[in-house]
């Protein structure tokens, strides 16, 4: 029994403990292996660096990236701008995502985007938050949007005043017959609160541009996550009313309601002309914001957006180009 235990104990020790020459050979082999492994890892690092560099290079220089995020109203124009600009400056990559004006502005405040898209101006509290984070927002108007009020094609209403629109969306008017329509309940559709379009409509239509007005959307208002959500619901519901950027409206499936500033004034359809000359009451600027005055690739891109070539895309997509390029 003791001999057996002794043999078992001895087998627990490596052979090198029993043979000095074998131990030296083993140590040498281990050191050689570590050296070869280190050289191999260094080679891989150099290879990865080279590969990364070759991926980021495009012709004449290094690939440069611009992060652009925010307004869903602007997202289609922003995507078209980015795709066109890539053909002009292939070394500049522009990543465009939506999510709403609030999302883009929050990303600017956090320093995670180069350009924030917004369908409304930044709020004072957002500007303050950015400044507290060491960022001075720089505002650029890039296009104009006429916000269209839309209903189902079968809706007989031919026009609304701003006051009637406010009364509908606050719930003071709940039946279409009170504004010249059928005897049917009004179904209210709106964008979600993170949307700049929602904020603009609240301020200019629901509150009639009065900063002291504290009216809010009626509690029965259905909040939709996108323009598609509004149009989808509206097309299947003859009692629904919603609003959308003019560039997103399909006149074949949605009826645009002319808007009058007040009783006795003309009802005006949204268009490029009526938005530019001020006749249409729900026209607004569309913005891009940067952290400080833009420089380098961002400045060059924004200059191109405001040029005739960039504004032609605005017009082509149904929005209103900047007046200076008309």
> Residue 247: its pLDDT value, please?
87
Strands 64-70 and 115-118, how do they pair? parallel
Both 200 and 271 in one domain: the answer is yes
The three-state secondary structure class of 282 is coil
CB 149 within 8 A of CB 259: yes
Q: Are residues 174 and 277 in the same domain?
A: yes
Residue-level pLDDT at 226: 86
pLDDT, residue 62, reads: 67
Is residue 17 domain-resident?
no
- What pLDDT, on the 0 to 100 scale, is given for residue 64? 87
Print the domain residue range for 70. 62-144+285-325
Q: pTM score, two decimals?
A: 0.73
Residues 246, 171 within the same domain? yes
Q: Are 94 and 138 contained in the same domain?
A: yes
Q: How many domains does the chain have?
A: 2
Q: Name the token pair of 174.
A: 């709940």
Asked whether residue 150 falls in the same domain as residue 246, the answer is yes
Q: Are 156 and 256 contained in the same domain?
A: yes
pLDDT at 23: 44
Dist CA 299 CA 321 (whole Å): 19
Residues of the chain with pLDDT under 50: 1-60, 324-326
Tell whether 150 and 277 lie within a shared domain: yes
Q: Is residue 278 domain-shared with residue 152, that is, in the same domain?
A: yes
For residues 218 and 315, membership in a common domain is answered with no
Predicted local distance difference test score (pLDDT) of residue 239: 97
The string over 302-326, giving b where at least 16 C-beta atoms fall within 10 Å of a residue's C-beta and e elsewhere, is bebbbeeebbebbeebbbbbbeeee
Residue 114: its pLDDT value, please? 98
Same domain membership, residue 293 and residue 272: no
Q: Is residue 181 part of a domain?
A: yes
CA angle 88, 119, 309 (to 5 degrees): 25
């Amino acid at each position: 029994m003791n001999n057996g235990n002794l043999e078992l104990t001895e087998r627990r020790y490596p052979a090198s403990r029993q043979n000095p020459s074998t131990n030296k050979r083993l140590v040498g082999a281990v050191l050689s292996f570590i050296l070869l492994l280190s050289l191999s890892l260094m080679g891989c690092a150099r290879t990865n660096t080279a590969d990364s560099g070759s991926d980021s290079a495009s012709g004449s220089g290094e690939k440069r990236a611009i992060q652009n995020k925010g307004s869903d109203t602007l997202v289609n124009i922003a995507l078209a701008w980015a795709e066109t600009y890539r053909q002009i400056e292939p070394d500049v990559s522009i990543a465009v995502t939506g999510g709403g004006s609030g999302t883009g502005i929050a990303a600017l405040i956090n320093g995670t985007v180069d350009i924030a898209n917004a369908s409304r101006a930044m709020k004072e509290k957002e500007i303050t938050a950015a400044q507290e984070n060491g960022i001075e927002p720089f505002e650029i108007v890039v296009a104009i949007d006429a916000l269209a009020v839309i209903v189902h094609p079968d809706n007989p209403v031919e026009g609304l005043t701003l006051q009637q629109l406010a009364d509908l969306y606050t719930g003071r008017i709940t039946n279409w017959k009170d504004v010249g329509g059928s005897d049917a309940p009004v179904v209210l559709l709106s964008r979600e609160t993170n949307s700049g379009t929602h904020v603009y409509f609240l301020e200019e239509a629901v509150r009639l541009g009065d900063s002291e007005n504290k009216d809010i959307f009626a509690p029965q208002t259905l909040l939709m996550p996108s323009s598609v959500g509004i149009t989808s619901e509206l097309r299947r519901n003859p009692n629904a009313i919603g609003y959308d950027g003019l560039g997103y409206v399909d006149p074949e499936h949605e009826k645009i309601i002319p808007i009058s500033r007040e009783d006795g004034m003309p009802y005006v359809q949204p268009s490029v002309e009526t938005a530019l000359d001020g006749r249409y009451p729900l026209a607004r600027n569309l913005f891009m914001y940067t952290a400080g005055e833009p420089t380098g690739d961002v400045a060059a891109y924004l200059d191109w957006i405001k040029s005739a070539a960039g504004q032609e895309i605005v017009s082509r997509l149904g929005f209103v180009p900047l007046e200076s390029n008309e």
